[in-house]
Chain A
Amino acid sequence: MAAVLDQKLPFRRFFRVAWYLPCVASSVVTTLIFMWLFLPDGFINAALGFIGIDVRINCLGDEATALPSIMFMNIWATAATFMLIFLAALQDVPGPIYEAANLDGAGPVRQFFRITIPLMRPEIFLVVLLGTIGCFQLFDQVKIATNGGPNEATLTVTYLLWKEGFRDLNMGYASALGVILFIVIFGVSLVQRRFLDVRPDY
């Protein structure tokens, strides 16, 4: 996505504003919008019906589809932020490298995989890391859209923590959950660091 935004095209300003909107809109608003789109009578089902799949799923009310729906919301809401990071990285990739690649006869697709991706490794690592940390702490969407249900299908650690601590006033249990969450996130970040955080060599 970022690769596209970087290019000079008419209406670039409009596109930038339109594309970053999910990133500046609050989690409450985006969740409410998607709850409405996900209604059994909503747009998503209508779109599915339009292409011939007339299922009328109750996306957020069905155990099988609730979690994927929440995941979709989250992908949609974070895509713009991560794109921003990639965009900044793209502008740092030195132009002469592409020039040299052109002379060597490498096509655009090959340039993208052989030059752009390797040079952006640090940013890719950052996005993967931030994405993982963010997903472990998923709360707002769950609280607003499903309250952890149906039948605990969308229960996240953070929702359990909030429920135990602030609804059932089981604060000791909630603190323990918080510490465990921290350890897990920390561990996962360390592992990711080992596999992904390799400096690019020019």
Chain B
Amino acid sequence: VAEAALVRPAARDTTERVERVQTTFRYILYVVVTVFLFTPFVMTVLSSFKSSAEVIAYPPTFLPSVWHPENYLQVFIANPNFLRQVFNGFFVTLLLVGCNLFFCSLVAYAFARLEFPGRNVLFAIMLGTMVIPSWVTLVPKYVLINNLGLVNTFGALLVQSYVTPFGIFLMTQFFRSVPRELEEAAIMDGVGWFGAFWKVVLPVARPALLALGILSFKDHWNSYFDWLVYMQTPDMFNIQLGLAAFRGVYQNQWDLIMAGSVIAILPILIIYILGQRYFVQGVATTGLK
């Protein structure tokens, strides 16, 4: 961040003018990029309060002429499964985030600390699976889960996502940076490996766990494809799939679709604003979203 102050032309008569031009230029860039990235969301929020006629009127209006907050109630009435779908989304997301945090750090701890034959090979194989596009394994995985009788149950999502290579990788990187002395004292006291992991290492790993938790919440809450493939009846959809299906049926109810979209963004937006620092760290350290 300090370099911003350094990137300045050497002291000359024109310095002030150059600086003014630069600042203006920066602000223009800011505004342009913000308009490009942010306006669609502003439009969405505003349109979610418009009447169904106004939301598709031409020429479009910016502010709603009459505010219709009841759209947010109407979306639950027009799609009777919507409440259930919001709940499904939350339930599975929270469950999977919990599983990811626990199992990924457990596996990662083994990779980072325990000595066992074939450890490095296993770690390489585990990392290798991240390179394979999920499309390659899609069909065999579906057949497997189908034979297990898990299609159209939450089990289908749990068995394939309760632990992820990405999570293991992130936690392993972190555990490797924790000094061994910390646990050695605990192990000497006779709490064993698991005791050391649970009581000493995990509390230290809070920032990494938060980063993983936020990223995994985002992935599972936003998950669309897995639900599309494995869920068959509307009462088993999550909010994303529910929204997509809703628009398939009610082509022109854009006011309700927009209200539903706002509801779908809100949880992840709140979590993101609260944990912004950890989220950015997580993406930055792994180079993955």
Interface of A toward B, CB cutoff 8 Å: 1, 4, 6-9, 15-30, 32-37, 39, 41-43, 45-46, 49, 76, 79-81, 84-85, 87-88, 91, 93, 95, 98-99, 102-103, 105, 107-108, 111, 126, 130, 133, 136-137, 139-140, 143-144, 158, 161-162, 165-166, 171, 174-175, 177-179, 181-182, 185
Stretch at the interface among B70-78, B174-182, B204-212, B239-247: B239-247
For the complex, give the distance between the alpha carbons of A99 and B2 in Å: 11
* B1 with A91: CB separation less than 8 A: yes
Query: Which of A23, A34, A91 makes the CB contact (< 8 A) with B40?
Result: A34
Partner of B7, one of A34, A37, A98, A179: A98
Is A9 a contact of B26 with CB atoms below 8 Å?
yes
Q: Could you show 16 A-B contacts with beta carbons less than 8 Å apart?
A: A7-B26, A19-B34, A21-B41, A24-B279, A26-B264, A27-B222, A27-B224, A28-B224, A28-B243, A29-B240, A32-B243, A45-B58, A95-B3, A137-B133, A166-B229, A171-B143
Known: A33-B41, A41-B60, A43-B43. A108 touches B283 (CB 8 A): no
Of B27, B56, B288, which is within 8 A of A39 by CB? B56
Are A165 and B139 closer than 8 Å at their CB atoms?
yes
Residues of chain A contacted by B55 (CB below 8 angstroms): 36
Q: Provide the bound-state CA to CA distance between A22 and B224, in Å.
A: 16
Given A161-B135, A174-B138; A102-B56 close (CB under 8 Å): no
The chain B residues found within 8 Å of chain A, CB to CB, are 1-10, 22, 26-27, 29-30, 33-34, 36-38, 40-41, 43-44, 47, 55-60, 132-133, 135-140, 142-143, 218, 221-222, 224-225, 228-229, 240-241, 243-244, 247, 254, 257-258, 261, 264-265, 268-269, 272-273, 276, 279-280, 283-284, 287-289
From B60, B221, B225, A43 is in contact (CB under 8 Å) with B60
B247 nearest CB neighbor, chain A only: A32
Query: Which among A18, A24, A81, A143 has the highest number of chain B CB atoms within 10 Å?
Result: A24
Q: Which residues of A contact B225 (CB under 8 A)?
A: 139-140
A42 to B58, CA, bound (A): 7
